[in-house]
Amino acid sequence: MKRSGRALDRMSPRRQTSWDARAATNFICGGAGGGLLAATALASPLGVDLRSLIVLGLALVGLGLLAVWLEIGRPLRALNVYRNVATSWMTREALVATLLFAAGAAAVVLDQPAAIWLAGLSGIGLVYAQGRILRNQKGIPAWRHGLCAALVVATGVTEGAGLLVMAALIWPALTPFGVLLAVLAVARLVVWRRYRESLRGVGVPVGTLKAFDAIDVPFVWVGHAVPIGLGIAGALLGWPIAVALAGAAAVVAGAWFKFVLIGRAALTQGFALPQAPARGSGRPGVGARPGWSRAKAQ
């Protein structure tokens, strides 16, 4: 049945408006920066001085945190963010970020493998914490799905590998890491496919499915087919330009996906009416769950 009017529509899910491009920037830059630190740690045994990549990773994470600091309502109280390590993944993200900056600074100054690996592990920790922040948001069905966190982690590490292989233009020794990028892109493609299938299965707001449908083709081709093809070809043939292009495609596609995930696809739960009440001497009627792809709850 067609419904109209503002009052009637209010039961339907709506796009969240509390986190805008600034919050998306934190997920985009923080994920890519954390992933880059991890990828740089993996590349560190090559013996190439990659400290500038560590600086870039720290700068990206810092940019993301700055963006989110500009978004919060009371920035002067920002340090209160450390108060709930017991249950809040936002607190844990802040703690991991603190460790990440300390380890990253030590890695840049001391150039010690232990510091580089600690920075890399903190990078993974940050990406994981970001995934868990979304996972615990019960009000946004697209985020609370278990595979969303996996997708955010897969995207962060893929972007990190993408940034690493872009640096093959400066350090050709990094060219073989095109294979790592390709493997991560395959993994992300698998998670992306399973995530979308599962969303359809359990039911989500229709707007969420539409937002993901709209990016599926470019995301699969630019974010996966190109990095897989060029990454492997460039690594096998020793072409830094090919792996750099593969990396750029992975980074751009990952950023665009996260922008959609935080914005367009982030519809709220909305309301459901399991039963229409019995009025007067009448019988109860059927309920409603407007705006959902399935009547069944997730």
Partner 1 sequence: MSPRYVMVIDLRRCVGCQTCTAACKSANATPPGVQWRRVLDQESGEYPDVRRTFLPVSCMHCAEPPCAEVCPTTATQKREDGLVTIDYDVCIGCANCIMACPYDARTIQHEPRWAYGVPMAHELARADPGRLSVATKCTFCKERIDRAAITGQTPGVDPEVTPACVNSCISGAMLFGDINDPTSGVVKLLESARHFRVHEDLGTGPSIYYIWSET
Give the residue, chosen from 236, 273, 294, 295, that forms a contact with partner 1 under the rule CB under 8 A: 273
Give the residue, chosen from 41, 53, 89, 242, that forms a contact with partner 1 under the rule CB under 8 A: 89
CA–CA dist 95, 74 (Å, integer): 19
Is the separation of the CB atoms in 212 and 297 below 8 Å?
no
**Site map (CB under 8 A) of partner 1, residues 107-146, x = contact:** --------------------------x--xxxxx--x---
Nearest CB to partner 1, comparing residues 198 and 298: 298
Count Cβ atoms within 10 A of the Cβ of residue 79 and give its class: 0-12 exposed, 13-18 middle, 19 or more buried.
exposed
For partner 1 (CB under 8 A), the number of binding residues is 58
- Please state whether beta strands 273-276 and 285-288 pair in parallel, antiparallel, or not at all (unpaired): antiparallel
Is the separation of the CB atoms in 188 and 158 below 8 Å?
yes
Other Cβ atoms within 10 Å of 230 Cβ, number: 25
Give the residue, chosen from 90, 102, 170, 183, that forms a contact with partner 1 under the rule CB under 8 A: 90
Q: Does 281 bind partner 1 (CB under 8 A)?
A: no
Nearest CB to partner 1, comparing residues 132 and 188: 132
Give the residue, chosen from 44, 158, 268, 293, that forms a contact with partner 1 under the rule CB under 8 A: 268
Residue 226 C-beta: closest distance to partner 1, Å: 32
Nearest CB to partner 1, comparing residues 85 and 241: 85
Please report where in the chains the tokens 């665009």 appear, as a residue.
256
CA–CA dist 120, 41 (Å, integer): 5
Nearest CB to partner 1, comparing residues 56 and 149: 149
CA–CA dist 102, 100 (Å, integer): 5
> At residue 134, what are phi and psi to the nearest 5 degrees?
-70, -40
CA-wise closest residue to 124 among 155, 147, 146, 79 = 155
Residue 126 C-beta: closest distance to partner 1, Å: 15
Give the residue, chosen from 33, 162, 290, 291, that forms a contact with partner 1 under the rule CB under 8 A: 290
CA-wise closest residue to 298 among 200, 157, 164 = 200
Give contact residues for partner 1 (rule: CB under 8 A).
Answer: 1, 3, 7-8, 10-11, 14, 16, 18-19, 23, 68, 71-75, 77-78, 80-84, 87-91, 94, 133, 136-140, 143, 266, 268-279, 284-288, 290, 297-298
